[in-house]
């Protein structure tokens, strides 16, 4: 075997040490380099040091290495003969001593041993050139130091303290079982991988039991946290070499591929383990020996190119460093200036929201005050006091809010305003749903003040007045004083108010994320589980039809107001209700005549249903917009919004629907019944390409309504786009990616054809130029199968985008980050597969997949370095958890760099 037992336990000093920032003092060679010195050692003096030349003879070939030996260092001055790898191996002779007193021993046995080791390695290279591609350059060395890390956090003494603490909790009779080893060392999510690691470490020490003591665990920990790359390589090799014969057989390679695929949740790699095993053996065993050795494994590990293209240093290192310095947080010592700057930044980022909310709050406060003063000057105030003024003030704000809460959901109106007017410059149309929620909170406060004051304060006070005090109340409550509390409840004003209150509470509660997103489904008793999910939210929200009818009736039968034109509830509601009713009629009419024919159905991994439909006549939309879809086979009432994934220039209309709730699950089930397994050249688990003829499957009927405006539709206003999609959130961004590519190509054709031919009288094209010149698309998903959703689009962009207009970055978060030993073999396979076939092993596309999650700060930095003095539109669609970080980064980079980032969050 190419590596002896010394590696990882003794270690040898190499050139890697000086290039790392880890501070490690033990970085070993890739294998034991021992053997006789094949030539004389010639020395000569140079100033304060000695220059020594070593010649190694192998047949008729000579390699001459000249060393400069000084008081505290040995360096290679010249290499004659050999190839690049020879020079790299020779550089391993370099070393630096920390004190002069150690020079004697350095030039003694250790130096002589290194000469012999390099001699033998050079002779091995001369006899076989199978691995002459090995590169030990500085970048490769740095990558080696980052790679094959079994423990990525808490390395060292502090880490051991935590491991020791967990050992005390997990031990059984003073020993740690193999099954708990992963949890003890902090690898709890990869129990199977941790078990194989346990076996390798135990095998090395002759431990046959599945129990280890704390002392043995400490030895395991020290080996796992060894910063020497070669020590880690040996441990990795030992994991594969289960019979400890120094060779890795084909079956052992397959076992490791299966283990790595399982640890990283890559099911497709697991299914193709035989194919990938053959590919590795073909690469590392070209002579068909039936096994591979450690130096072969090292070659592949160190040669795997760095897959992360966000490399700022190679493009503009100085500018990158300047940005880093500017982005360092500095604390303003003056608290007044500090708070003033924060306030200024807040207003700069949120001025649209601030003025709208300030106007709304001011109107509500004004109405409350007006009605409060009005009733304070009436006779009822003497009996009911501030209870009635509070109740009436709350009622007045509720009238306003019940009217304007309909405006944010008038989607046709908002789409027209944002597309055809300039109001978007001052009105935050992107926050329409958020404003709808804020108004709902205002209604809850108003109803609470109104109902609370009536039911707990002024009605009880009226019941306890004397007959003389009741005399002024007769015009309002009748000649006879109300006998009891129930008299108020059973009246028209009373029961309508109570019913409205109950319906509002139901709609408000079921609209909360805990219910709407099924977060409480497992915690509720079985009878109440139907109250969770989107269906419960949808139906409860449409109780507002009943609420508005009761609200008008309630506002007419008032106790304290008998003049009809002073009963203002209908005045508040007439215009908003008319507008909303017109919107619903328009949608119903439009969906009725805009019928669609389904062209293709596909059910992809990750429970995603793709529907390709024909375009209705006259249907025009922009990338980033969305449509509502209704399927009568699932529900004759429900409409659900979905982003359009096709580009405006496509001859079809498509949506991708992930099954996350009741309605979408039923929709997938209905369409799955007509789908068939795909052929070999098709993607998707089930699919149906619809053709005309007698054999065409009978599909459920779909109705669509739209398109409707969304934040992403404004992407054309920006020079540069940064598109971020999480999971199914990539849907509106895929449409933008395709449209950007199509529009840039069209713009180039326009520019080329705009030259007027002499005498031809041709007119130049006056089309407005397309602003976007560069787009960065980051798609982050948990599951490998998710890449099937848009595989065709990604391949099309990779093939068609010759000018590099669009940078595609796929991230699979189920794969452990670069450098982790659990993903090392996946990176090797990825490198081989992409080099051979141009296809990524994880995504199945031509776009290489990154591992783990992106470093978003580096992403913004990459864009800022490449595009100074430009406006960058940041469009995000996905889970709300990332919204705050992306918005903060966009804000920070806009303030501290010449690049201006404008953040937009997709909302439905």
pLDDT band for 588, please (50, 70, 90 cuts). confident
pLDDT band for 716, please (50, 70, 90 cuts). confident
Same domain, 654 and 676: yes
Pick the more confident residue, 140 or 771.
771
Residue 89 resides in a domain: no
pLDDT band for 405, please (50, 70, 90 cuts). very high
Average pLDDT over residues 474-502: 82
Same domain, 782 and 681: no
Same domain, 672 and 792: no
User: How would you class 7 by CB atoms within 10 Å of its CB: exposed for 0-12, middle for 13-18, buried for 19 or more?
Assistant: buried
- Least confident range from 23-32, 302-311, 417-426, 673-682: namely 23-32
User: In whole numbers, what is the pLDDT of the chain averaged over residues?
Assistant: 76
Helix (H, G, I), strand (E, B) or coil at 105: helix
Question: Following CA atoms 514, 519, 520, 526 in sequence, which dihedral angle do they give, to the nearest 10 degrees?
Answer: 130
Same domain, 705 and 716: no
Cβ atoms 394, 450 nearer than 8 A: yes
Give residue 398's pLDDT: 94
The residue from 709, 731, 760 where one domain ends is 709
pLDDT tens per residue, range 183-231: 888 887 788 888 888 988 998 888 888 899 999 998 888 888 887 777 8
Enter the DSSP assignment of 620. -
Task: Tell me the CA end-to-end span of the chain in Å, nearest whole number.
Answer: 62
Beta strands in 547-673 (DSSP E): 598-604, 608-613, 626-631, 640-643, 653-658
User: In three state form, how does the secondary structure of 163-185 look?
Assistant: HHHHHHHHCECCEEEHHHHHHHH
pLDDT tens per residue, range 40-73: 333 333 344 444 444 334 444 555 566 555 545 5
Average pLDDT over residues 460-483: 78
Give residue 37's pLDDT: 34
- Least confident range from 164-168, 349-353, 802-806: namely 802-806
pTM above 0.85, yes or no: no
Token pair listed for 238: 């030992």
Q: Is the pLDDT confidence value at 123 over 80?
A: no
Cβ atoms 145, 233 nearer than 8 A: no
Cβ atoms 250, 207 nearer than 8 A: no
Give residue 146's pLDDT: 61
User: How would you class 680 by CB atoms within 10 Å of its CB: exposed for 0-12, middle for 13-18, buried for 19 or more?
Assistant: exposed
**Helical packing angle, 335-376 and 883-896, nearest 10°:** 120
Pick the more confident residue, 98 or 243.
243
Q: Is the pLDDT confidence value at 140 over 80?
A: no
Count of structural domains within the chain: 4
Give residue 383's pLDDT: 81
The residue from 206, 230, 254 where one domain ends is 230
pLDDT tens per residue, range 283-298: 888 888 888 887 777 7
Give the H or E element holding residue 68: strand 61-69
Give residue 149's pLDDT: 78
Same domain, 377 and 412: yes
Same domain, 868 and 899: yes
pLDDT tens per residue, range 843-869: 888 888 888 888 898 899 889 888 888
Residue 536 resides in a domain: no
Give residue 599's pLDDT: 87
Same domain, 646 and 737: no
Q: What is the DSSP string of 318-376?
A: HHHHHHHHHTS----S-HHHHHHHHHHHHHHHHHHHHHHHHHHHHHHHHHHHHHHHHHH
The residue from 208, 230, 252 where one domain ends is 230
User: In three state form, how does the secondary structure of 515-573 look?
Assistant: HHCCCCCCCCCHHHHHHCCHHHHHHHHCCHHHHHHHHHHHHHCCCCCCCHHHCCHHHHH
Give residue 161's pLDDT: 84
pLDDT tens per residue, range 549-565: 999 998 888 777 767 67
- Least confident range from 50-59, 324-333, 526-535, 654-663: namely 50-59
Token pair listed for 876: 């995000």
Query: Which strands, in side-by-side order, build the sheet including 806-812?
Result: 849-851, 806-812, 774-781, 720-726, 871-877, 900-905
Cβ atoms 14, 92 nearer than 8 A: yes
Cβ atoms 814, 781 nearer than 8 A: no
* Structural domain for 667, as ranges: 594-709
Same domain, 805 and 873: yes
- Least confident range from 177-191, 432-446, 459-473: namely 459-473
Distance separating alpha carbons of residues 889 and 286, to the nearest angstrom? 49
Q: Is the pLDDT confidence value at 410 over 60?
A: yes
Q: What percent of the chain has pLDDT over 70?
A: 73
Residue 523 resides in a domain: no
Give residue 803's pLDDT: 76
Cβ atoms 381, 407 nearer than 8 A: no
User: How would you class 469 by CB atoms within 10 Å of its CB: exposed for 0-12, middle for 13-18, buried for 19 or more?
Assistant: middle
Q: Is the pLDDT confidence value at 382 over 90?
A: no
Cβ atoms 666, 589 nearer than 8 A: no
Same domain, 654 and 714: no
Q: Is the pLDDT confidence value at 723 over 90?
A: yes
Q: Is the pLDDT confidence value at 542 over 70?
A: yes
Cβ atoms 64, 81 nearer than 8 A: yes
Same domain, 484 and 362: yes
Residue 650 resides in a domain: yes
Same domain, 463 and 598: no
Residue 411 resides in a domain: yes
Return the CATH number at 194: 1.10.238.10
Residue 519 resides in a domain: no
Same domain, 633 and 728: no
Question: Following CA atoms 675, 677, 683, 689 in sequence, which dihedral angle do they give, to the nearest 10 degrees?
Answer: -40
Distance separating alpha carbons of residues 828 and 813, to the nearest angstrom? 18
Q: What percent of the chain has pLDDT over 90?
A: 13
Return the CATH number at 872: 3.40.50.80
Q: Is the pLDDT confidence value at 792 over 50?
A: yes
């Amino acid at each position: 075997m190419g590596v002896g037992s010394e590696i990882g336990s003794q270690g040898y000093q190499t050139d890697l040490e000086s290039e790392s920032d880890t501070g490690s003092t033990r970085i070993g060679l890739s294998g034991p380099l021992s053997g006789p010195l094949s030539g004389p050692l010639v020395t000569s003096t140079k100033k304060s040091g000695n220059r020594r030349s070593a010649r190694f003879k192998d047949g008729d070939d000579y390699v001459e290495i000249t060393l400069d030996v000084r008081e505290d260092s040995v360096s290679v001055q010249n290499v004659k003969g050999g190839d690049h790898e020879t020079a790299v191996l020779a550089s391993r002779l370099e070393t630096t001593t920390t004190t002069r007193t150690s020079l004697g021993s350095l030039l003694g046995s250790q130096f002589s041993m290194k000469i012999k080791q390099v001699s033998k390695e050079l002779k091995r290279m001369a006899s076989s050139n199978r691995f002459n591609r090995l590169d030990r350059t500085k970048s490769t060395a740095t990558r080696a130091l980052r790679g094959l890390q079994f423990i990525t956090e808490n390395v060292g003494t502090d880490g051991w303290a935590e491991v020791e603490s967990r050992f005390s909790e997990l031990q059984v009779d003073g020993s740690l079982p193999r099954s708990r080893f992963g949890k003890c060392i902090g690898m709890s999510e990869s129990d199977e991988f941790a078990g194989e690691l346990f076996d390798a470490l135990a095998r090395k020490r002759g431990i046959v039991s599945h129990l280890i003591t704390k002392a043995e665990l400490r030895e395991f920990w020290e080996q796992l946290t060894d910063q020497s790359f070669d020590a880690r390589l040996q441990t990795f090799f030992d994991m594969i070499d289960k019979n400890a014969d120094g060779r890795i057989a084909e079956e052992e390679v397959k076992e490791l591929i299966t283990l790595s695929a399982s640890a990283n949740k890559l099911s497709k790699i697991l299914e193709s383990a035989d194919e990938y095993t053959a590919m590795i053996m073909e690469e590392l065993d070209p002579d068909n020996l039936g096994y591979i050795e450690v130096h072969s494994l090292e070659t592949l590990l160190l040669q795997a190119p760095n897959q992360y293209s966000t490399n700022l240093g190679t493009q503009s290192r100085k500018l990158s460093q300047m940005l880093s310095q500017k982005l360092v947080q500095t604390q303003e010592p003056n608290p007044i200036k500090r708070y003033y700057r924060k306030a200024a930044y807040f207003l700069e980022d949120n001025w649209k929201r601030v003025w709208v909310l300030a106007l709304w709050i001011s109107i509500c406060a004004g109405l409350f005050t007006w009605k409060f003063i009005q009733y304070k000057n009436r006779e009822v105030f003497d009996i009911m006091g501030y209870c009635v003024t509070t109740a009436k003030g709350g009622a007045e704000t509720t009238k306003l809010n019940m009217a304007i809460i309909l405006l944010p959901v008038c989607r046709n109106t908002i789409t027209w305003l944002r597309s055809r007017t300039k109001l978007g410059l001052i009105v935050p149309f992107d926050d329409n749903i958020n404003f709808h929620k804020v108004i709902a909170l205002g209604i809850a406060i108003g109803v609470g003040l109104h109902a609370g004051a009536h039911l707990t304060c002024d009605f009880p006070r009226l019941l306890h007045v004397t007959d003389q005090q009741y005399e002024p109340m007769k015009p309002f409550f009748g000649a006879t004083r109300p006998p009891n509390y129930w008299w108020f409840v059973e009246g028209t004003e009373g029961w309508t108010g109570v019913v409205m209150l109950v319906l509002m509470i139901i709609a408000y509660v079921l609209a909360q994320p805990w219910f709407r997103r099924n977060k409480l489904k497992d915690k509720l008793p079985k009878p109440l589980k139907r109250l969770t999910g989107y269906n419960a939210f949808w139906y409860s929200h449409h109780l507002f039809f009943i609420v508005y009818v009761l609200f008008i009736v309630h506002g007419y039968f008032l106790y304290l107001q008998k003049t009809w034109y002073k009963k203002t509830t209908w005045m508040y509601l007439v215009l908003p209700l008319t507008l909303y009713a017109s919107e619903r009629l328009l949608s119903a009419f439009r969906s009725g005549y805009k019928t669609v024919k389904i062209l293709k159905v596909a059910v992809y991994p990750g429970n995603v249903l793709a529907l390709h439909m024909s375009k209705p006549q006259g249907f025009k939309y922009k990338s980033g917009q969305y449509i509502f879809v209704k399927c009568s086979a699932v529900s004759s009432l429900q409409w659900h919004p979905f982003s359009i994934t096709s580009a405006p220039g496509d001859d079809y209309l498509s949506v991708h629907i992930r099954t996350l709730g009741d309605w979408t699950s039923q929709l997938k089930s209905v369409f799955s019944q007509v789908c068939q397994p795909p052929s070999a050249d098709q993607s998707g688990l089930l699919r149906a390409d619809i053709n005309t003829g007698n054999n065409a499957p009978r599909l459920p009927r779909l109705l669509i309504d739209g398109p409707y405006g969304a934040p992403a539709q404004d992407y054309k206003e920006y020079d540069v786009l940064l598109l971020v999609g999480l999971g199914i959130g990539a849907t509106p961004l895929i449409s933008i990616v395709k449209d950007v590519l199509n529009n840039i190509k069209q713009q180039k054709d326009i520019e080329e054809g705009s030259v007027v031919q002499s005498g031809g009288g041709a007119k130049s094209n006056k089309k407005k130029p397309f602003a976007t010149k560069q787009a960065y698309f980051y798609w982050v998903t948990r599951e490998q199968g998710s890449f099937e959703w848009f595989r065709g689009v990604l391949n099309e962009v990779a093939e068609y985008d010759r000018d590099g207009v669009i940078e595609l970055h796929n991230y699979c978060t189920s794969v452990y980050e670069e450098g982790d030993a659990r993903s090392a073999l996946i990176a090797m396979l990825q490198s081989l597969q992409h080099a051979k076939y141009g296809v990524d092993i994880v995504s199945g596309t031509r776009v290489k997949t990154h591992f783990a999650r992106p470093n978003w700060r580096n992403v913004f930095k990459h864009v800022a370095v490449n595009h100074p003095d430009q406006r960058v539109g940041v469009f995000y669609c996905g889970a709300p958890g990332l919204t705050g970080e992306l918005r903060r980064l966009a804000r920070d980079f806009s303030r501290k760099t010449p690049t201006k980032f404008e953040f937009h969050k997709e909302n439905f």
